[in-house]
Structure 1
Amino acid sequence: MKQFGLDESRVRSLVGAVSPGPPQDEAATADLFARAAWTSLTEPGDGMAGMLIGCLGASTALTAILESWPLEKLIGMLRDAGGDPEEDLGEKLDDGLQRWRNRLSSADVIHALEQCARSGGNLLVPGDRLWPAALDDLGPHAPIALWWRGVDNAWLALPNSIALVGARAATGYGEHVAMEAAAGLVDRGFAIVSGAAYGIDGMAHRSTLASGGLTLAFLAGGIDRFYPSGHDALLARIAEVGAVVSELPCGAAPTKWRFLQRNRLIAAASTATVVLEAGWRSGTLNTAGHAAALGRPLGAVPGPVTSPTSSGCHRLIREYDAICVTNAAEMAELVGSMTQVMFEFADDGAPQGAIGSGRTSEQVRVFDALSTRAPRPIPDIARRAGLSTGSVIGALGTLDMEGAVRRRESGWVRAR
C-alpha cells in the first residue's frame, strides 16, 4: 500500500526512527511524515504554507501538492475551512504552489529523516506533549515541525525561560555581563534560550552549562551540521543536557534569511528577551522586534556611551521603551512585566532597519541562494531560495541594478 508515493511500511519505519515512544496510528504517522516533508518544501515562517496546513492538515496539504490539485479546488477548501478571506488569496496560493513544487523530492525527505535518526535526533510536531505552546503565538508563521536533539526536560523548562542574545563581535564587557546574567538567572530557576552564535550567545550557553542549568540553542540550519563549526563541542554538550533545535531539516545550510527567521523562535519560545550587547543595526534587534510583536517583555543592558557595540541597546531603551536591566535580578523581574514595546514592522515581521541591507525578504533569499563562483540558473535559484521563478527574476533585476549580482552565460553569480 502506498502513502505519499512511498510504501506504507517505509513511511512507518522512517517516522518511527525519529519519534520515540509507542508506535503511532496511521493518521499520526502520516501527519509526522507530511510535516517533515513540509519543512523541506518551505522556508521558515512561510505564512501561506502555515495557513494551508492549519486549514487542511499537513497530510492533506501535502497530498494536494503531490497530486497537483487545481487551484480553484484548494481556494474553495481554504475558504470553507475559514482561511484567508482576502481577494488576493488565489494569487498568494498560486505563488506558494510554485515555490513548493520546485522542491518536491521524496529523496530529500527520506535523507533528512534518516540523517536525523543517525544523529540521535527527533521530530517534534504540534500536539506532542513536549510541543512548546508559546510558539503557537506565531499563528500561521509558527514552525511546521521542530527537529531536535537533547533531553525532554529542556522543553518542560521553557515556560520559565529567558532569551539572552547579543552581538557576535562581543566585547569583554558584553561577555562578562552575559556570563553573570546567565549564572544569576540559573540560580533563580530560569532556563536560558539563545542562538549558539559566537560572542554573547555562546557565552550565555557556556555560563548556563557551567552553572548546572538548562539551555536551548535554536539553529538556522540542520541539527546534523552544527553551526558555527567552532561551537561543535559546545553544541554537542548542549545536546547532551539541554536541547539543540531547528525548524529546518537535517542537511539544510544556514543562510542570512534563515538566521533572521530563527530569531522569531527564540523570541516566541521564551517568556522574556534580554539584549545584552548590540550595534545600532545589529541583527539582534530582529529578535527584539519579534519579542515586541508577540508582547513578550523586552530588556536591554546599557553599556558605555562611547561603545558602538552597545548603541543598539541604547536605541532599544531610548526609542522603543525596552526596560533597562543591569543584573540577573532585574532580568528576572521582566517575567512579571508585560510592557508592550512598539516597533514599525516590515511585511516579513522584522523591525524596519534591523536587517541593515535595505533589501526585501525575497532579495535576501535570492542573494543567499547564489554562489560567487558557480553560476546558477533561475530554476535552481528558485529551488534553493524557496521562491517562484517570477519572484526570483524580479529580485535578480533589482540586485543586478545594485551591482550585487552578475549574469553569466550559464546563470547568475554574486558579484565579487
Structure 2
Amino acid sequence: MDLFEKYESNVRGYIRSFPTIFVKAQNATMWDHTGKTYIDFFGGAGSLNYGHNDPAIKRAIIEYIERDGVTNALDKATDAKYHFIEKLQNTILKPRGLDYKIQFVGPTGTNAVETALKLARKVKQRSKIVAFTNAYHGHTLGALAVTGNEFYHDDYYGVPLNVTKMPFDNYFDSENQMDSIDMMRHYYEDASSGYEVPAGIIVETIQGEGGINIASVEWLKKLEKMCRDLDILLIVDDIQMGNGRTGNFFSFERAGIKPDIVTVSKSIGTGLPMAIVLMRPEIDQWSPGEHTGTFRGNSLAFVAGAKALERWDNDTFSKEILAKGAKVEQRMKAIAARFPQHIGDVRGLGMIWGIESPVEGFCGQISREGFERGLIAETAGATDQVIKFLAPLTISEAELDKGLDILEASITAAAAKHPINE
C-alpha cells in the first residue's frame, strides 16, 4: 500500500477503510492480491446492484468492443444509445405510466443533481431550492448546497446560497412529531412568513448516506400534493435507492407518486459511468446545446445498462430482492436482540438496511472487524452511527448467509471491545 500512500491524494477514503489491493470480483465476492476473499456488502456504494462482472453484461460489452462499437459519441445517435432508450422506455417507464423524457448528463450522480437543480430554476424562474436534513446529493457545488452533512461544507465554498433546509420525515425524535410538510405549506402560503416559494424540492425517499432514514408513504404523498398545489417541482434523487434497491425499480413507486424530475445514476450503467435526468416532457425547456458535457454518451454503459434492464422483463427479480431483504431484516433484528445496549435500531426496506448504535465508534469498529474477517461494509450517518447493508441485489444465498455470519461475528467482537458500564 506504500505506493498509494506516496502518490495518491490525501482525499482517498475507502482505501483507508479497506486497506488491501483487490484484483478480482464476481457477483458479491471480491479477491485481493493475497487470494483472500471478501463478501461485498458495499456494492460500489450502490453502483453494483447487478453484481460484479455479471456474465450476460460482460458478454454484451465484449461483443460491442469486438465489433468496434462507438465508445464515446457525446450526444450523437448510436445504436447503443438507441437500444438503451428503447429498453428503458418499454421495460421501465411505460409499464409504470411514467411519461418522461431522458437527458444524458455528465457521468456521475452529482452531474444529474446539478442538471435537475439548474433545470428547475430555469423552468420556474425562481432561484430557491428546498432540501432536507441529513440529505446527501453529491459534492459539486450545487449538489453540495443541498447536502446536509457539515463534514462536507466549508463557508468559503459559498454553497448554501439559494437553498433552504427543512426537516425530513421523523426528523424530530419526540412523541409529538412535527409534520414538516404542514410546516412548509404554512410558510409558503403565508405571504409575510419571509419564505419564498421555491422552484423545486429535492428529496431522497430513503436517505442512504444520511443513516437509512425512510420517508413514510403518507409523508411522500403529502409532499407531492403540496408541490402540485403550490406549483413547485418535485425532484426525487433516486441515484442510490433506485435501480431496484427497495424491491421496485424506483424507490418512489411504493408511495404511488410521480415526481416531475428524477435523477438516476450508479447502477443504471451497472457500475460504468452514466447518469440521467428523467423529466416530464413539458419541463424539457432546454435549447439545443444549452447544457452539455463531453462524457454524456458512454456507449459501454448504454450496452451494459440495456442488458441489465432485461432482469425487469417480469417480476421475478423484484420478488427475489424482497425475499433476500426479508432474510437480512430477520437476521439483523435477531443480532440486535443479542446486543440491546449496543444496538438502538434496525431499519430498512428491500435490500437497503442499517444497524444504528448509540455507542460512539461502535459501527466503525464493526466495519474494521468485518474487514479482518472478510466482509466489506461501510458506515453511514452524520457520526458514522450506522453500519450499512448495500450488497448487490444479485447476491447468492450462499454469499448472503456467509456475509451475515461474518457481520454477526464482527458485531460480537466489536461489543467485546466496547463494554457497556452498568
Q: Which has the higher contact order (CA 8 A, sep 6+)?
A: 2
Q: Same fold (TM over 0.5)?
A: no
Greater helix share, 1 or 2?
1
TM-score range, shorter chain: 0.3 to 0.5
